[in-house]
Structure formats: C-alpha cells, structure tokens
C-alpha cells in the first residue's frame, strides 16, 4: 500500500495564525505539520520573502485545511470557540 503524499497546503502569515490553525487541526485530529521559515543564521530573512511558514499535510486533507484557514482568516472560525467564557456584550 502506498503512502499518501504530504504536500505544502498553504503559506501562513504569522505565528498567531499558525498557532490558531494548529489548535483547530489538533482538536479535529487532522494530521499536519507546521514549518516555520525562520532561520536564525539569516535573522528571519526568508520569512520576509516567503511568509511566516507553511502547513503541510496529506493531500486528502488539503481542501479541509484550506477551508479552516479561510474561516480563521475571516474570523468565522473564532466565534465558535473564542469568548465562550466571556459575558455577552452590553
């Protein structure tokens, strides 16, 4: 049986986005790896050129991860989890 290829799914904008995405993917048991482009030898030069990093996953999970990331970026995915312990606005 062949293993499914791991692909670069999407470039991530920053560490906050990477952590939020990782949390959602872990909660949903979606296999993934988040790789930062930071290199101490070049003091983050590659992050300025390529973005903060990339999320890698099996090809079959790519579309679902893109949808989750789209929701996070638009704020839709945050409303369900965030603020559950906060009182309603006045």
Residue 38: both structure tokens together: 């930071």
pLDDT of residue 83: 44
Q: What is the pLDDT of residues 67-80, one digit of tens each?
A: 999 999 998 655 44
Q: What is the pLDDT of residues 5-62, one digit of tens each?
A: 999 999 998 899 999 999 999 999 999 999 987 666 665 565 566 678 999 999 999 9
Is pLDDT larger for residue 65 or for residue 37? 65
pLDDT for res 41: 63
């Amino acid at each position: 049986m062949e293993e499914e290829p791991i692909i670069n799914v999407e470039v991530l904008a920053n560490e906050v986005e990477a952590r939020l995405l990782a949390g959602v993917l872990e909660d949903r048991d979606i296999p993934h790896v988040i790789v930062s482009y930071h290199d101490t030898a070049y003091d983050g030069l590659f992050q300025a050129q390529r973005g903060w990093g990339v999320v890698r996953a099996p090809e079959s999970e790519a579309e679902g991860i893109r949808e989750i990331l789209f929701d996070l970026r638009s704020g839709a995915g945050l409303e369900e989890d965030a603020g559950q312990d906060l009182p309603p606005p006045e």
